[in-house]
């Protein structure tokens, strides 16, 4: 049965939990990041888009390891990462 076709809603469902976990993961948690990468590739992302997805998760993980300077920093960074993730997830839909 070839590659399944996913809708944007399917992609969000497949990547929502792993994506959130990857954002909070330690940057060296390669198993979780590899699994997350498989999900976004299955959702139709290109290798380059999956790279961006992974880099965002690693950057967020590194940021969350820093000492807190302002109470809103974590929420604002999480929102920013979600914006980037939504932009990346929309790309397969537009192709």
Residue 29 lies in a domain: yes
Helix (H/G/I), strand (E/B), else coil: 89:
helix
Residue 72 lies in a domain: yes
pLDDT tens digit string along 15-65?
655 555 555 555 457 888 999 999 999 999 999 999 999 999 999 999 999
pTM of the entire structure?
0.68
The structural domain count of the chain equals: 1
Residue from 4, 43, 37 nearest 18 by CA: 37
CB 91 within 8 Å of CB 48: no
Q: Give the range of the structural domain holding residue 24, as residue numbers without chain letter.
A: 8-94
User: Could you tell me the two tokens for 95?
Assistant: 């192709």
Helix (H/G/I), strand (E/B), else coil: 78:
helix
Residue 1 lies in a domain: no
Average pLDDT over residues 78-95: 94
Q: Give dist(CA 22, CA 34) in Å, integer.
A: 10
Residue 26 lies in a domain: yes
């Amino acid at each position: 049965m070839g590659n399944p076709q996913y809708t944007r809603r399917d992609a969000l469902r497949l990547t929502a939990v792993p994506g959130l976990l990857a954002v909070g993961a330690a940057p060296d948690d390669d198993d979780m990041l590899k699994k997350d990468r498989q999900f976004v590739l299955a959702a139709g992302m290109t290798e380059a888009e999956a790279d961006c997805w992974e880099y965002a998760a690693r950057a967020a993980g590194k940021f969350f390891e820093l000492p807190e300077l302002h109470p809103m920093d974590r929420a604002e960074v999480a929102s920013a990462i979600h914006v980037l993730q939504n932009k990346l997830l929309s790309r397969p839909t537009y192709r």
